[in-house]
A and B are shown apart, each in its own frame.
Chain A
Amino acid sequence: MKKDLVIIGGGPAGMAAAVAAYEAGVRDILILERDNALGGILRQCIHNGFGLHRFGEELTGPEYAYRYEKMVHELGIPYMLDTMVIEVSPDKVVTAMNRENGIFTIQAGAVILAMGCRERPKGALNIAGTRPAGIFTAGTAQKFVNMKGYMPGREVVILGSGDIGLIMARRMTLEGAKVKAVCELMPYSGGLARNIEQCLNDFNIPLRLSHTVVNIHGKDRLEGVTIARVDENRRPIKESEEYIPCDTLLLSCGLIPENELTKGAGIKLDRVTGGASVNGERETDIEGIFACGNVLHVHDLVDYVSEESAIAGRAAAKYIFGDSKKEISIALKTDGKVRYTVPQRLTEACDTSVYFRVADVYRDAKIVVRDGDRVIISKKKQRLAPAEMEKVELAKDVIESLSGGELTFSIEM
């Protein structure tokens, strides 16, 4: 099989990329989706709050996904469901499997990686204690409750204040569970302020900042957890230990871009984001292979995923039509307070949004972008936090006027 464009993943990123590529003139497109429907993780995110940027109205996850699914249908963009991609080669041969076709290969003209991310599991956290049932990532619990209609817990402690954990605190409470605490290792929340307000404060669920779970108790089903305050080095303080009886521990301790296929293709990854290192067009270091959405870096908002995926879709179209330009080579560097940028480099002089996250909470600080010693952007911010992705716009003429081969992004007080 041959295809001009193969898109791996039929979630919000893959669908937005497909629509953008179609609108840019590509017709021979195939979306490969491993689940039994388009929509990706949005299908289980039944809460509202999506789409304000993209559609100017507040939608739930399934509604947002359906907007794109409808576009895919209306444009007649082909997709395969229940189809797992098992390999992408550097020369863009995609190997996949499904019930109808068995194991098959597609020679793609261009590939867009849109596989999304997964949650950090318990093993990675290395909590001491027993191994009972009742410990789930927040997303697994979300699937049980929202998709399957089952209750995985009655008395719940949540470790990590990522948005999915906060959303699940409210969701479990509304379904009749008692959420006893949300523990966050860091001195600040990992989720959005609005979610602290409407998911925890609305229900008087305590957020225990600088706290972690140090021990798990129970033989068959979880019976309780020991939590403790942590010192400034994030080490638990023995004297502060506290036992909380509960039958369920939900983990919301971060998301990891799912880049096994990317690694398999030999694509260079960014150590900080865990996703591919890309240029402004979201092209990886292998020409014609693009990445977008949470597989590239974890976003706070699906609206930004759609925006980024449209960039990748349009760029893939340009590549397919032979219009790609590589006229400049500018590396985007960071000072450590800015943890990473996406894109990581610029190869075309055009208006470019640079997304990034900061390493800590900073108040009354400035985002500063320098070309050598020359400050080209300085933007005041009341508050910067790791949970909130930041954006800086680089205009075409600014990029054209750069003297050096790199730009440095920093946070200054």
Chain B
Amino acid sequence: MFDFAVIGAGVVGGMVARELTRYTDSVCILEKGSDVALGATRANSAIVHAGFDAAVGSLKARLNVLGSKMMAEVCADLGVKYKNNGSLVVGFNDDDEQTLKELCERGKINGVDGVSVICRDEILSIEPNIGDKVTVALYAPTGAIVCPYELCMAAVGNAMDNGAILRTKFEVKSIEKISEGYKLSSDTDSVEARYVINCAGVYSDEVAKMIGDDSFTVRPRRGEYMLLDREVGDHISHTVFRCPSKMGKGVLVSPTVDGNLLVGPTAEDIDDKENTATTAEGLAKVRALAAEQVARIDFSKVITSFTGLRASGSTGDFIIGMPTDRFVNVAAIESPGLSSAPAIAEYVVSLLRENGYEASPRSDFNGTRRPMHFFSDLSIEEKNELIKVRPEYAHVICRCETITEGEILDAIRTNPRPTDVDGVKRRTRASMGRCQGGFCTPYIIDLLAREMGVDYTAVTKFGGKSYINFGKTK
């Protein structure tokens, strides 16, 4: 019997699991997918919000501001790329200016540092490519960017380094109360734990129902994005939001920590929790809105488009609580969920403590981790020292992003281990560049097949039946 079962290996589940391993090595993470970070964590805005947006007094406001302040240190510990690039919420008229002033006040009340409303000339001095019709902006210097799936992989990996166990392809189908805890069953297997933490994203309402809690529902809110080549990644330096108005919320235009430009998302409530298709209409809308906020975006440089599903809850706020003994819901973690994740993890532990969980910090907990991108950070001399010992660090596999065989092998051998091509891609950026894997996919399959000891045709794109090759030609 584990001390904890954490359902869901997204960024929230990962950060919670890592936080729990400060106190115990008896943590089991149950993930229905074949890898971590496959839900909302895989496809979202990658933003650390400053915290002026959430309603005063809400859990969102409190955890956002706190999480945002914790994020830089957490990322440093976990070796995750983080950049404090500041954010702008841009307005186009007097009404917007009024709204932005209110947002600014709200930010101050929420505890956000340094927010101010600035005029067009001031905006232009820090962001020359701002939209032609932008007249005013709310400037938040504490806004930042981070890679959500990198943070999730690092958190799960760090939890595993500290003793946690990750069970992928384990979809919890039922939860049974047993003495001293719960028995969680999939179709083929079961796990017992004293405490259950429900971090199941868009499915967290269905997991809650398994223990009889139907006090909330979660609906997927579809958001479509486009990612642009690094060639245009420096088109802007701040994250540019649009002032909420009668016309809607707009989209964001932001650099990413990897140097791309990200635009999106749309916001559309849907029912299908697996529907991550993009639509022609959605992408056209993203384009049109983004072009108003930021001038001269070169959309010919789009390298991919994708859809994320945010877990939008029925209460409007995060739903974090204990509906019954030893069971914690961490549900409806929509925006600003990523920003709040470090604070959510601490909040869950404090909630457990208030409800009788007793444990002292482990002396052998190590909260730090070698960055997944450590090789690219080395100096040329350091790289050459390493190459002498491990020449595969000089063999480039992904030409667009200059990712070497050594880095890919490291990723395949490091917790949480990838088992498919997309898993390697998210960990190393191999095939994430402008050719989108055209050249390197056949080589990545070679490495995965060899390391996992499976046939070339057994390697999938993202698990399940996502086969890449059907068999030999002859």
A residues contacting B by CB (< 8 A) are 34, 82, 84, 86, 97-103, 118-119, 121-124, 126, 128-134, 136-137, 139-140, 143-145, 147-154, 175, 214, 216, 219-221, 247, 260, 263
B471: interface (CB < 8 Å): yes
**Roughly how many angstroms separate A101 CA and B383 CA in the complex, as a whole number?**
11
CB of B394 closer than 8 Å to a CB of A: yes
Sample 14 A-B pairs with CB under 8 A, ordered by A number. A100-B391, A102-B383, A103-B383, A118-B438, A119-B438, A123-B227, A123-B304, A128-B282, A132-B466, A139-B438, A140-B442, A150-B472, A151-B473, A263-B231
B387 touches A99 (CB 8 A): yes
B388 CB within 8 Å of chain A: yes
How far is it, in angstroms, between the C-alpha of A130 and the C-alpha of B388 when the chains are bound? 44
A86 CA to B396 CA in the complex, in Å? 10
A121's partner among B276, B388, B395, B436 (CB-CB below 8 A) is B436
- B436–A122 CB distance below 8 A: yes
With A and B bound together, what is the CA distance between A247 and B461 in angstroms?
A: 14
Q: Check B246 for interface membership: any CB of A closer than 8 A.
A: no
Q: Tell yes or no: B303 within 8 A of A by CB.
A: yes
Known contacts A149-B472, A153-B470, then 9 further A-B pairs from the complex at CB < 8 Å, ordered by chain A residue:
A84-B399, A99-B395, A102-B384, A103-B384, A118-B435, A133-B468, A140-B437, A144-B469, A145-B473
A154 CA to B469 CA in the complex, in Å?
A: 10
B465 pairs with A221, CB closer than 8 A: yes
B302 at the interface (CB under 8 A from A): yes
Structural contact, B436 and A123, CB atoms closer than 8 A: yes
Chain B residues within 8 Å of chain A by Cβ, number: 54
Q: Which of B231, B436, B439, B465 contacts A220 (CB 8 A)?
A: B465
B415-474 CB contacts (< 8 Å) to partner A: 434-439, 441-442, 456-457, 460-462, 464-474
- The reply to whether A128 and B473 contact each other, CB–CB distance below 8 Å, is no
- When distances are taken between beta carbons in the complex, the residues of chain B under 8 Å from A148 are 442, 456, 469
Report the bound CA distance from A153 to B471 in whole Å: 9
From A119, A122, A130, A154, contact of B470 by CB (8 A): A154
- Give the distance in Å from the alpha carbon of A128 to the alpha carbon of B283 in the complex: 8
In the bound complex, residues from chain A placing their C-beta under 8 Å from that of B227 are 123
Nearest B residue to A251 via CB reads B438
- CA separation between A358 and B441, bound complex, in Å? 34
Given A100-B391, A152-B469, is A126 in contact with B283 using a C-beta cutoff of 8 Å? Answer: yes
With A98-B395, A99-B392, A140-B441 as known contacts, state yes or no: A124 contacts B383, CB within 8 Å. no
- Do the beta carbons of A149 and B435 come within 8 Å of each other? no
A34 partner residues in chain B, CB cutoff 8 A: 396, 399
B305 and A123 within 8 A (CB):
yes
8 Å CB contact of B461 from A99, A133, A175, A216: A133
* B50 smallest CB distance to A (angstroms): 31
Instruction: State how many angstroms separate the Cβ of A268 from the closest Cβ of chain B.
Output: 16
| A137-B442 Cα distance, complex, nearest whole Å | 12
Given the interface pairs A122-B436, A123-B302, the reply to whether A220 lies near B464 with Cβ below 8 Å is yes
The answer to whether the Cβ of B277 comes within 8 Å of any Cβ in the partner chain is yes
Interface check B279, CB cutoff 8 A: yes
Contacts of B278 in A (CB 8 A): 128-129
Please determine whether A103 and B387 come into contact, CB atoms closer than 8 angstroms.
yes
B470 to chain A, nearest CB (A): 5
Closest approach, in angstroms, between the C-beta of A158 and any C-beta of chain B? Answer: 15
A175 adjacent to B303 (CB under 8 Å):
no
**A152–B441 Cα gap in the complex (Å)?**
12
> Is the beta-carbon distance between A214 and B280 smaller than 8 angstroms?
yes
Query: Closest 5 CB pairs between A and B?
Result: A123-B304, A99-B391, A133-B461, A121-B436, A84-B396
Q: What residues of chain A lie closer than 8 Å to B439, measured between beta carbons?
A: 118, 140
B266-300: contact bitstring with A at CB < 8 Å (1 yes, 0 no)?
00000000101111101100000000000000001
Q: Are A143 and B470 in contact (CB under 8 A)?
A: no
8 Å CB contact of B435 from A86, A102, A119, A144: A119
Using CB atoms, name the residue of chain A closest to B388.
A102
- Known A-B contacts A34-B396, A145-B473; A123 and B303 likewise in contact (beta carbons under 8 Å): yes
Is B442 a contact of A144 with CB atoms below 8 Å? yes
> From DSSP, what is the main secondary structure of chain A's interface residues?
mixed
Docked CA distance A121–B280 (Å): 18
Q: Which residues of B sit under 8 angstroms from A150, Cβ to Cβ?
A: 456-457, 469-473
With beta carbons under 8 angstroms apart, the residue of A122, A131, A143 that contacts B442 is: A143
- Known A103-B383, A221-B465; judge A121-B303 contact (CB<8 A): yes
Tell me whether B470 and A82 are in contact (CB under 8 A).
no
B279 neighbours in A (Cβ, 8 Å): 128
Q: Please, how many angstroms separate the alpha-carbon atoms of A259 and B87 in the complex?
A: 33
Contacts of B304 in A (CB 8 A): 121-123
* Residues in A neighbouring B365, C-beta threshold 8 A: none
How far apart are the CA atoms of A136 and B436 in the complex, in Å?
10
Q: Is B380 an interface residue (CB 8 A)?
A: yes
The answer, yes or no, to whether B306 is at the interface (CB within 8 Å) is yes
Q: Please give, as numbers and ranges, the residues of chain A lying within 8 Å of B388 by CB-CB distance.
A: 102
Q: In the complex, are the beta carbons of B394 and A220 less than 8 A apart? A: no
Q: Which residues in B have their C-beta under 8 angstroms from that of A216?
A: 277
Instruction: Let me know if B402 is at the binding interface, CB within 8 A.
Output: yes
Residues 382-420 of B, flagged 1 when their CB comes within 8 A of A and 0 if not, give: 011001100110111001101000000000000000000
Residue in A99, A148, A214, A263 with the greatest tally of chain B CB atoms within 10 Å: A99
Give the complex CA separation of A389 and B227 in angstroms: 33
Task: Write the nearest CB–CB distance from A11 to chain B, whole angstroms.
Answer: 13
CB distance from A255 to the nearest CB of B (A): 11
Report how far A368 CA is from B279 CA in the complex, Å: 45
A236 to chain B, nearest CB (A): 8
Residues of the A chain whose Cβ atoms lie less than 8 Å from the Cβ of B435: 118-119, 121
Contacts of B442 in A (CB 8 A): 140, 143-144, 147-148
Given the complex, which residues of B lie within 8 Å of A175, measured CB to CB? Answer: 473-474
Measured between beta carbons, the chain B residues less than 8 angstroms from A247 are 470
Contacts of B437 in A (CB 8 A): 121, 140
In the bound complex, do residue A102 and residue B466 qualify as a contact, i.e. CB atoms below 8 Å apart? no
Find residues 41-79 in chain B having any chain A CB closer than 8 Å to their own CB.
none
Which listed residue, A99, A137, A151, A260, touches B471 by the CB 8 Å rule? A151
Interchain CB contact (< 8 A) of B402 among A86, A151, A219: A86
Q: Which listed residue (B282, B466, B473) contacts A133, Cβ 8 A?
A: B466
> Are A102 and B394 in contact (CB-based, < 8 A)?
yes
The answer to whether B394 touches A140, judged by C-beta atoms less than 8 angstroms apart, is: no
Known contacts being A128-B278, A133-B466, is A149 close to B283, with CB within 8 Å? no
- CB neighbours (8 Å) of A84 from chain B are 396, 399, 402
Q: Are A102 and B387 interface neighbours, CB within 8 A?
A: yes
Cα–Cα, bound, A201→B101 (Å): 67
Given contacts A133-B461, A139-B438, contact A128 B302 (CB under 8 A): no
What residues of B have a CB within 8 angstroms of the CB of A102 in the complex? 383-384, 387-388, 394
Q: Which of A82, A121, A126, A131 contacts B438 (CB 8 A)?
A: A121
Which residues of chain A come closer than 8 Å to B231, judged between CB atoms? Answer: 263
Contacts of A86 in B (CB 8 A): 396, 402
Q: Tell me the complex Cα distance, A260–B439, Å.
A: 15
Closest to A149 in B: B473
Once the chains bind, are A97 and B438 in contact (CB under 8 Å)? no
A399 to chain B, nearest CB (A): 35
Shortest CB distance A178–B (Å): 13
In the bound complex, CA of A312 to CA of B344 (Å): 62
B146 to chain A, nearest CB (A): 23
Inter-chain CA distance A153–B436, complex, in Å, is: 19
Let me know if B460 and A133 touch, CB within 8 A: yes
Question: Contact: A98 with B394, CB < 8 Å?
Answer: yes
